[in-house]
Chain A
Amino acid sequence: MEFILIFISAALVNNFVLSRSLGICPFIGVSKRMDTSLGMGLAVTAVMAVASAITHVVYTFVLVPFELEFLHIIAFVLITACLVQVVEMYLKKNSPALYRALGIFLPLITTNCAVLGALLLNIDLFSDSLLRAVVHAVGAATGFTLALVLFSGIRDRMSYAPIPKIFEGVPIAMMVAGLMSIAFLGFSGMISL
């Protein structure tokens, strides 16, 4: 039960994109088509789940015993970078189409603040349990994927709409994201962890 609560809290109540404002770059950048946003979401989910497990182990068994907690930023970034490299090589071999569609945004998962944000929040909130940390990360990644896919659906419709020229591009995306964020405010207070 506790795991379900952590999952829903990370995915809906504290949605990373719409409530915590993390991972906005890929949210705006790769959400032009639904299948690429789904692919991006899955890639981020894979990186986040594995990274949160590894960082938990590294933090608890290496950094804390040797009193090196201040190195956690560097350690976490390097772990993420290695994992992204692995995912990149896997996609390049097994799914070249998706690899090309994601383009520059694939290596940029390293600098996706949603990933590092989840790892840092894990230290603050769930440093006591590996399983809870991973569930939190998967929930967060699911919320990220959900926001991306919903947004790409809206963008699809928007391409047929007469948008004032001055609003084209980032501004109208911000308006849509703002409205979605209001909708997600409806989840707040549902669960408090």
Chain B
Amino acid sequence: MVKALARFKKGIIDENPIFAQAIALCPVLAVTTSIINGVGLGLATLIVLFCSTLVVCFIRNFIPPQVRIPCFIVISATFTTVVSLLMEAFFPALNDALGIFIPLIVVNCLILARMESFAAKNPPIVTMFDSLGMGLGFTLALALIGVVREIIGMGTVFGFTVIPEAIPRNVLFILPPGGFFVLGLLIVVLRAVKDKRLKD
């Protein structure tokens, strides 16, 4: 149990998929124009990650090692299809905003990496906590980038105006270049914080 909780915390902070490992960057840059979109995609990815790693965990002893990657991809494609149909039915507006990035969850490197490097070697309980931690770490990172871009680019948070109308918005930050800049700078800030903590 202690080990499971440690895995959970690692995924959120020490091994955060975006800020520490810098994997699965495509959806991060594309959909974080607002916090709602970021959290929406983060949670959709979390569900796919959680379900597919759990399935991998239960059938790992029946998958021949030579064909494990195709098996993993089919498993994650199945859950991506399920999530994309659910999104279409219950959150049509969010589904339209995220567009092709919902089906693209299937090729999210984070999911394949966790299946290959963790779920295929560990028992179900630990895997569940690992997936939750990684998924939440991913969602939080998307939310953080989304919040920064939404505030600078549109002056709003969750659609509510937080910066007075008189101050001009910098539209660049909700365009593609803004995603690159905000992600790069956030990694630098987090590195600085970590360095300082190590020194103290």
Contact = CB atoms under 8 A, between A and B. Distances in A.
Contacts of A64: none
Given A28-B22, A110-B73, A179-B177, A171 B106 contact: no
B135 interface: no
Interface residues on B, range: 35 or more
B103 interface: yes
Nearest to B195: A166
Contacts of A110: 69, 73, 107
Contacts of B106: 73, 77, 116
Q: Looking at chain A's contact residues, is the secondary structure mostly helix, strand, loop, or mixed?
A: helix
Contacts of B100: 117, 120-121, 124
A182 interface: yes
A1 interface: no
Interface residues of A, number: 42
Contacts of B195: 166
B144 to A, nearest CB: 15
B43 interface: no
B23 A172 contact: no
A21 B191 CA distance: 24
A166 B188 contact: yes
Contacts of B84: 73
Contacts of B104: 22, 113, 116-117, 120
Interface in B101-133: 103-104, 106-109, 112
B53 interface: no
A181 B103 contact: no
Contact of B176 (A18, A23, A113, A167): A18
A175 B103 CA distance: 28
B91 interface: no
Nearest to B22: A170
Task: Pick the most buried of A78, A173, A174, A177: most chain B CB atoms within 10 A of its CB.
Answer: A174
Contacts of A73: 77, 80-81, 84, 103, 106
**6 closest Cβ contacts across the A-B interface?**
A174-B184, A178-B180, A21-B30, A21-B29, A181-B177, A111-B107
7 contacts: A21-B30, A21-B176, A74-B81, A81-B70, A116-B107, A171-B185, A185-B175
